[in-house]
Amino acid sequence: MKRIHNLIALVVVLFSSNTYALLEIEITQGVESAMPVAITPVAGDIPIEATLLESVVFSDLHRSGYFSIIDKKKYPQQSVKLDDVDYPKWRNVGIEALLTMTATAASEGKVRVQFELYDLVRKNRILGHSVTTNKNQLRKVAHKISDLVFEKLTGIKGAFSTRVAYISEASSSKGKKYQLQIADADGYNPRTVFSSSKQLLSPAWAPDGRRLAYVSFENDRTEIFMQDITTGKRTKISSEPGINSAPAWSPDGTSIALTLSSGGDPDIYILDVESKKLRKLTNDYGIDTEAAWSPDGRFIYFTSNRSGAPQIYQVSFGGGSPKRMTFEGSYNAAPSVSADGKFLAMVHRDDSGYKIGLLDIERNSFRLLTDGTLDEAPSFAPNGSMIIYSTRHNNSTVLSAVSSDGRVRQRLRLQKEKVREPSWSPFRR
């Protein structure tokens, strides 16, 4: 408990120094059985940059849920020169890995960052590098360091350098403004990709990380657009009679699964991106929507109320008879598939509202990851370690991330706009 308290204090101090920060981070749950790791204070002659570097790496590693970052008061060394680690002393306080970083001024206003990672159990340096960067790229460098540390210690590729697309809604005297935005995975550096006075919905990343598909009400009905986020070029890809919604790219990028109701009721269709040909995948009297692909592209998961209430089903890419996946509760919807294909995150309703649930497909075991009243739109990180979702908070809607084991939750809070519909990007190619 005390440790958690210290962490919160640290986070507040670190982030209050970043006046340009738009999204605040709060730690809502502690870590109990994660790997104990130390991050010594960042050394060097440029304290502002040092603090930024430390805060970004700290919060990246902490919110992943894999690590418990030990209070600095317990460190036997507050600064460590290269390969000058007092291994026995560090092991005495039960810490397994040590990260040291320096940030020093380089020529032309640049920053030179150096970092080392030590395995305190095997008593050796397992990672180390230096990089010189522009000051405005410092966050990127910090996320890169987090990625490398995460991968070295867990064996899983880090996803801290990835991005999140989402919809924001701002109200003013002129009315409402809806924006499709992209931010770093920790919520910083938001950039607007598309802005409209009409509603936007369901951003979906192409696997190349360069294009987004999304639903726009700009013509007072649903239509699906595709936008290249590097050039800004927009293309209308679906404007059938009725609903055009819930786009989801296939893992190979050649197809988009979407929901159309032109056939009489909402069904899942497969759109071939090149040929523009449509194929009807599901056929049921009720609602079929919210398609999500398995990582191998062989299956599509979707929400259907064919049993009378929304549940998640699986159908082969080629079609055929869908198989029901969820049996717990009377409302399971909006599936997101983990990168290894073994888990489905979803919206699950229980007595007190809508929460994010996780289904272990092989073991057929289900559990809740969150405890909100209106948690929606779960989206897995590309390495499966975390899930981002939207949640109600103080009469607004904010984004939160939860580690896939449910132990660590972190709120990304945009201060003015309501934010929702998060979609975690794939790895950069």
Partner 1 sequence: MIIRQISVIFFLSLLLAISGCSGNKTKGDDGDMVGDGIEDGAPTDVGEDDYSSSGLDDDGSVILDPLDDPASDLFVRTIYFDYDSANIREDSLLIVREHGKYLSSSPERLVRLEGHADESGTREYNLALGEERAKSVREILLLEGAQEVQIEIVSFGEERPAVEGTDDAALQLNRRVEVVY
* Residue 245 in contact with partner 1, rule: CB under 8 A: yes
Residue closer to partner 1 by CB (options 60, 223) is: 223
Instruction: Enumerate helices (H) and strands (E) in the chain, giving the number of each.
Output: 4, 30
Instruction: Judge whether 218 and 200 are in contact, CB under 8 Å.
Output: no
3-state secondary structure of 49: helix
236 in Cβ contact with 256 (< 8 Å): no
| The pair of three-digit structure tokens given for residue 355, joined into one six-digit string | 């929460």
Tokens representing 326 are 């969820």
Instruction: Choose, by CB under 8 A, the member of 22, 93, 273, 374 that binds partner 1.
Output: 374
Interface segment toward partner 1; rule CB under 8 A; list 83-91, 135-143, 242-250, 402-410: 242-250
How many CB atoms neighbour CB 197 within 10 A? 11
CB 130 within 8 A of CB 114: yes
Identify which of residues 177 and 349 has a Cβ nearer to partner 1 in the complex. Answer: 349
Q: Is 312 in the site for partner 1 (CB under 8 A)?
A: no
Alpha-carbon distance of 136 to 153, in angstroms, equals 28
> Binding partner 1 by CB under 8 A: which of 282, 376, 383, 406?
376
Q: Is 393 in the site for partner 1 (CB under 8 A)?
A: no
> Smaller CB distance to partner 1: residue 84 or 220?
220
Interaction between residue 334 and partner 1 (CB under 8 A):
yes
Residue 137 or 262: which CB sits closer to partner 1?
Answer: 262
Can residue 309 be called a binding residue for partner 1 (CB under 8 A)?
A: yes
DSSP 283-344: --SS-EEEEEE-TTSSEEEEEE-TTSS-EEEEEETTEEEEEE---SSS-EEEEEE-TTS-EE
- CA distance from start to end of the chain: 41
Instruction: Please give the Cα distance from 142 to 138 (Å, whole number).
Output: 6
The Cα–Cα gap between 183 and 140 comes to 12
Residues 7-66 binding partner 1 (CB under 8 A) are none
47-63 and 2-16 are packed helices; what angle lies between their axes, rounded to 10 degrees?
140
The span of 42-50, 85-93, 227-235, 261-269 binding partner 1 (CB under 8 A) equals 261-269
One of 246, 315, 356, 359 touching partner 1 (CB under 8 A): 246
Q: Which is nearer to partner 1, 94 or 241 (CB)?
A: 241
Q: Are 145 and 101 in contact (CB under 8 A)?
A: yes
CB-wise, 117 or 399, nearer to partner 1?
A: 399
With respect to partner 1, which residue has the nearer C-beta, 114 or 289?
289
Give SS3 for 90. Answer: helix
Taking the C-alpha atoms of residue 332 and residue 351, their distance in angstroms, rounded to an integer, is 13
Q: From the list 3, 110, 392, 393, which residue makes contact with partner 1 (rule: CB under 8 A)?
A: 392
Least gap, CB of 334 to partner 1 (angstroms): 4
Nearer to partner 1, 90 or 424 (CB): 424
**387 binds partner 1, rule: CB under 8 A:** no
The mark string for 220-239 relative to partner 1 (x by CB under 8 A, - otherwise) is xxx-----------------
The binder of partner 1 chosen from 120, 377, 386, 388 (CB under 8 A): 377
Q: How far apart are CA 114 and CA 127, in angstroms?
A: 11
What residue type is 357 in one-letter code? G
Query: How many whole angstroms separate alpha carbon 18 and alpha carbon 49?
Result: 10
Q: How far apart are CA 170 and CA 133, in angstroms?
A: 35
Estimate the crossing angle of helix 138-154 against helix 47-63, to 10 degrees: 40
Binding partner 1 by CB under 8 A: which of 164, 299, 421, 425?
421
Residue 157 touches partner 1, criterion: CB under 8 A: no
DSSP 60: H
Residue 73: other Cβ atoms inside 10 A: 7
Does position 326 interact with partner 1 (CB under 8 A)? The reply is no
Q: Interface with partner 1 includes 270 (CB under 8 A)?
A: no
Site for partner 1 in 167-206 (CB under 8 A): 199, 201-202
259 is a contact residue toward partner 1 (CB under 8 A): yes
Amino acid at 317: F
- Using the rule CB under 8 A, give the single segment among 49-57, 58-66, 143-151, 215-223 that binds partner 1: 215-223
User: Closest CB to partner 1 among 250 and 259?
Assistant: 259
Q: Which of 55, 255, 261, 423 binds partner 1 (CB under 8 A)?
A: 261
Question: Strands 35-39 and 67-69, how do they pair?
Answer: parallel
Interface residues for partner 1 in 335-364 (CB under 8 A)? Answer: 347, 349, 354
Binding site for partner 1 (CB under 8 A): 199, 201-202, 217, 220-222, 242-243, 245-246, 259, 261, 265-266, 286-287, 289-290, 303, 305, 309-310, 331, 333-334, 347, 349, 354, 374, 376-377, 392, 420-421
